[in-house]
Amino acid sequence: MTDHTEDSVRAEARTWLEANWDVNLGLVKWRNKLADSGWGMPNWPSEWYGKDLSVGLVPVVEEEFRRIGALPIPKSGIRMLAAATILNHGSDMHKEKYLRPILTGEDVWCQLFSEPGSGSDLAGATTKAVMVGNKWVVNGQKVWTTSAHKARWGLLLARTDMNVPKHQGLSYFIIDMHQPGVEAVPLKQMNGHASFNQVFLTDAEVMPDFQVAELGDGWKVATTTLMHERRGADSLRSWGQVPDLEGSIYDEERAEVETTLAPYKWYPQRAGRVDLIMQRAKETGAINDPAMRQEIAKLMVLHKSAEWTARRARSAQEQGKPQGPEGSLGKLASSNVARASARVHTMVSGADAMLSGADGVMNGTIAEILISFPASSIAGGTDEIQRNIISERVLKMPKETRFDADKPFKDVPRNTVA
């Protein structure tokens, strides 16, 4: 495609969809057609299953998918973080091996970053990768790893050099989660779900070809993954939504949502469910209370401001600009919105908000919001981390005092044995 105007993109997308969309196709077969055509991820490079379109033209294509009822490529989740990272830093071999199964949904991914001993200090990771013979041997423990119990592949941040400062001694790998030496143990959450896992790595192996970027570049690559995660923080509430239409392909996608996407069922609740506020206020009569209306108005202003911040990030992306402060601003804003929304839900529903299951408001949805929303302030970088990033990189305020930035990592005191 050479003429990238809105009208020409719309016309070509519409023509292709009308000729190829079939509600009775198998889901994987349809996604393979999308990968071959480039319409599944049209802003990707044409040599890697895309159309070379600007991000600004993607909504035009999405409108045509919605018009005809065609299922798009699922664009949320860790597998898309893996795709973004591989496109930015991976070798041609990585792109050839991993991108298509990501688009078809055949491969489930997980992100092996956080560790029990380093908290929010991602650069303090102590999981080690040591070259033994012709392969990397990995030992350590990861935690809060979504979908690790289902994943085929993992994005692994591991320490490969103890003798340099902590940010310089990390490397980034793609690891086979099905091999001996990788054990995923689900963690039961207080909201009843078990999305997260501890992952124990004991002499797990990674061949050198599955190192992403250069040795010691792990922090740079991990930052790319996190930037895309924060940029997509505002899209969590749309995960797992399937059109209420008839056809075997819709049935198949609904079944996938119930299995592969099951760990994300509660993600809309952790975002606060602002979309339910007005409905609940009208149902309960809270909308007639002037004080309650004031609180609802405050929330809606905060929500709309966060939405505009997200649009700024998307606009910058559409113009080809590098990730700016909008990612951290948006991530922090989404946490504030979730917190404020939970507060308003509590005010609207009162003590009934504490009831779960069939006895609860909206079958326990409101209760699930109240015990899920704190996760939005932790996942993808805590609120405190985002404030540091904003203060130091955006407002140019003095950096907080650090005692480990220039020391060899082996000399840095820590609360685990490396």
64 has catalytic annotation: no
Query: 31: which 2 tokens?
Result: 């996604």
Q: Is the per-residue pLDDT at 8 higher than 60?
A: yes
- Which among 64, 115, 229, 368 is annotated as catalytic? 229
The per-residue pLDDT for range 349-377, each reduced to its tens digit, is: 999 999 998 999 999 999 999 999 999 99
| pLDDT of 45 | 96
Of 96-110, 147-161, 183-197, 309-323, least confident by mean pLDDT is 309-323
236 pLDDT tier (thresholds 50, 70, 90) = very low
| pLDDT of 289 | 95
| pLDDT of 261 | 72
Report the C-alpha gap between 286 and 302 in whole angstroms.
Answer: 19
| pLDDT of 318 | 63
Q: Which residues of 287-322 are buried (b: 16+ CB within 10 A; e: fewer)?
A: beeeebeebbeebbebbeebbebbeebbebbbeeee
Q: Is the per-residue pLDDT at 237 higher than 50?
A: no
Q: Is the per-residue pLDDT at 36 higher than 70?
A: yes
Report the C-alpha gap between 312 and 326 in whole angstroms.
Answer: 7
187 pLDDT tier (thresholds 50, 70, 90) = very high
Question: Is residue 135 packed enough to be buried (19+ CB in 10 Å), middle (13-18) or exposed (0-12)?
Answer: middle
244 pLDDT tier (thresholds 50, 70, 90) = confident
| pLDDT of 379 | 81
Q: Is the per-residue pLDDT at 233 higher than 60?
A: no
Report the C-alpha gap between 88 and 323 in whole angstroms.
Answer: 13
Report the C-alpha gap between 304 and 281 in whole angstroms.
Answer: 18
Mean pLDDT of the chain: 89
- If you average pLDDT over residues 146-158, what whole number do you get? 95
Q: What proportion of the chain, given as a percentage, has pLDDT over 90?
A: 65
| pLDDT of 231 | 63
Query: What is the reported pTM?
Result: 0.84
| pLDDT of 2 | 52
| pLDDT of 241 | 63
Helices 92-104 and 78-89, packing angle to 10 deg: 160
- If you average pLDDT over residues 89-106, what whole number do you get? 96
| pLDDT of 234 | 47
Q: Which is more confidently placed, 237 or 200? A: 200
Map the chain to HEC letters. CCCCCHHHHHHHHHHHHHHHCCCCCCHHHHHHHHHHHCCCCCCCCHHHCCCCCCHHHHHHHHHHHHHHCCCCCCCCCHHHHHHHHHHHHCCHHHHHHHHHHHHHCCCCEEEECCCCCCCCCHHHCCCEEEEECCEEEEEEEECCCCCCCCCCEEEEEEECCCCCCHHHCEEEEEEECCCCCEEEEEECCCCCCCCEEEEEEEEEEECHHHEECCCCCHHHHHHHHHHHHHHCHHHHHHCCCCCCCCCHHHHHHHHHHHHCCHHHCCHHHHCCCHHHHHHHHHHHCHHHCHHHHHHHHHHHHHHHHHHHHHHHHHHHHHCCCCCCCHHHHHHHHHHHHHHHHHHHHHHHHHHHHHCCHHHCCCCCHHHHHHHHHHHHHCCCCCHHHHHHHHHHHHCCCCCCCCCCCCCCHHHCCCCCCC
403 pLDDT tier (thresholds 50, 70, 90) = confident
| pLDDT of 194 | 86
Q: Is the per-residue pLDDT at 416 higher than 70?
A: no
Q: Is the per-residue pLDDT at 98 higher than 80?
A: yes
| pLDDT of 413 | 80
Residue where the block lists tokens 């004031």: 294
Amino acid present at 199? V
The answer to whether 200 and 185 are in contact (CB under 8 A) is yes
